[in-house]
Each structure stands twice: as structure tokens, then as C-alpha cells.
Amino acid sequence: MIRFTDREKPFVIGMVHARPLPGSYRYESGDMSEITDIAVEEAKTLEANGVDGLQVENMWDFPYARGEEIGPETVAGLTAVSQKVKDSVSVPIGINCHLNGGLQALAVAEAVGAQWIRVFSWVNGYISNVGYIEGIANEVLDLKKKLVGSSVTVFADIMVKHGSHVITEDRTLAERCEDAANYQADAVIVTGEETGKSPAPESVADLKTKSELPVLVGSGLTAENISKYSDHIDGCIVGSYFKENGKWDKPVSGSRVKKFVNEV
């Protein structure tokens, strides 16, 4: 388990965006080797340039299925990629399965020895681009109980990007954070409105003063703005900035990773 309180600087997590997996709309090849080779190469680049951990996810599988519709072929593909990544690096890894596939992510994490999962809607609910996404804490906790001795932790988004949260707009960020804590999340994630957009620094700072859980920022951080957040967060998840030209669908850039890590 990551001990955020033992660290002087935020824990930096770099994203490994697996190319389209079997069963997804963009999957073309019957050979997983190219997919795993790219993931391993990017994981090694991220580690070599200073990240503290990696998160593997099926980012390229859009248009996404809702969690309850994610099939075994996705779980198998994500497991294969994640195992190769884990075997190639020494830093800890986590798993995210789009969209809100907390059960699937936990299964993958348990199988490969990942340390955490990210869940977009742990509590409450929101409207995503695939429809209504509801909190799944109860289902994931039930599965975790069946996996006797599981040490996988949950990083829960509390107002995730790429969605409308009007149905819960009467609740503050701190109240949503309290919900996540009450439902046994181990850390909370705050994002901007979309990939590459950061949340307001003042809202993150305010949440940190009220949260009993570690706080991570999950989008929009760059070498140029990390100084506005470093004193108020326990960790961060970085995808777009670590890619060439800051575009999430480009290859990982070692120089951009190193520049960011040096500014943390």
C-alpha cells in the first residue's frame, strides 16, 4: 500500500494507455504482442524518467461500455497488458477499466498484483457520454470481501471529468469526499472538466483541509502549473502532459516526464 503520509512530495503516477483491446470497436489485430510491447516500452520510459507509479488502463477502447456491460475479453486483455507492464518495472502499478469498471479493475489488480484501482463513480452518480453512471462501492466491496486478504486500495473520483454532475450539484466537493470516505475509499481524486484540464487550485487546497483521505489530482497537471498544487495534494495522475505535444494519444515523451518530475 502506498503510504502518502511518509512522503515529502506528491506521489506521481504516469499513465500507460493500452492500445485497443480485444472486443473494443478499434481492435484490429488478433495478436496481443504489439499492444503489450507498446505498453511495456512506455512504462519503462515513464519509470526511467522518475515517476513513482504507473496506472494501466484501456483508454483506447472508446466508445466505452458501461461497467456492467464490460465483457471477459476486456478483462483478459487488460490483465495480459498489466502483467507484462508489472513484470517490466519496479514501481507499483494500479488499474483503471473504462467506463467505471471497478469490478473488472479489481479482478485484474488482484490477478497481477497491482496496488490500487481507480473508480470514476464510487459513490453518488453522474451523466457520462455513455449515459447514467451510478456509484458501485457496494459491489466492489462485496467482491473485495470474497477475495480474502486483498490489499488492493481504491482511488475514488468524487467529481470526475467528462460528465455532468448537475444531479448532485447541491452537494459540495467536501461532502462528496465524506461520502467516499464513509464508503471505504482509500483516497479521492479531483479532476477538471475533461482530459488535459485541471481543477481550480483553490478548490483542491480547500478540499485538502477538509478531507480525511489522501487527495490526488487526476487531470490537467503540467510542469508549468504543478507548483500551484504541490503543497495541497498527496499525489497526481498524469497522462496527457507526459505525451508528445501534450496529446494523450501520442507516444510518451521522456523529456516531458523528467521536466514534470523535476518541478514536483
Strand boundaries in 90-172, DSSP class E: 93-96, 116-119, 125-128, 131-134, 153-157, 163-164
Print pLDDT tens along the chain (264 aa): 788 877 889 999 999 999 999 999 999 877 899 999 999 999 999 999 999 999 999 999 999 999 999 999 999 999 999 999 999 999 999 999 999 999 999 999 999 999 999 999 999 998 998 889 999 999 999 999 999 989 999 999 998 877 877 778 888 999 999 999 999 999 999 998 767 778 999 999 999 999 999 999 999 999 999 999 999 999 999 999 999 999 999 999 999 999 999 999
Tally of residues, the chain = 264
How high is the pLDDT of residue 160? 83
What are the cell numbers at 123? 459513490
The residues spanned by each domain of the chain are 9-263
How high is the pLDDT of residue 220? 94
What region does 23 belong to: left with phi over 0, alpha with psi -120 to 50, or beta? left
Q: Are 119 and 100 in contact (CB under 8 A)?
A: yes
Give ∠ CA 40-49-92 in degrees, rounded to 5. Answer: 55
* Alpha helix (H) residue ranges in the chain: 33-48, 72-88, 102-112, 137-146, 173-182, 201-210, 254-263
Q: Is the dihedral of CA 179, 146, 115, 195 positive or negative?
A: negative
Could you tell me whether strands 125-128 and 131-134 are parallel, antiparallel, or unpaired per DSSP bridges? antiparallel
Distance CA 61, CA 3 (A): 32
Maximum C-alpha span of the chain: 50
- pTM, two decimals, is 0.95
CATH architecture designation of domain 9-263 = Alpha-Beta Barrel (3.20)
SS3 159: coil
How high is the pLDDT of residue 194? 64
Burial 25-38 (b: 16+ CB within 10 A, else e): eebeeeebeebbeb
SS3 17: strand
> Residue 99, preceding bond cis, omega within 30 degrees?
yes
Burial 4-23 (b: 16+ CB within 10 A, else e): beeeeebbbbbbbbbbbbbb
Distance CA 48, CA 257 (A): 9
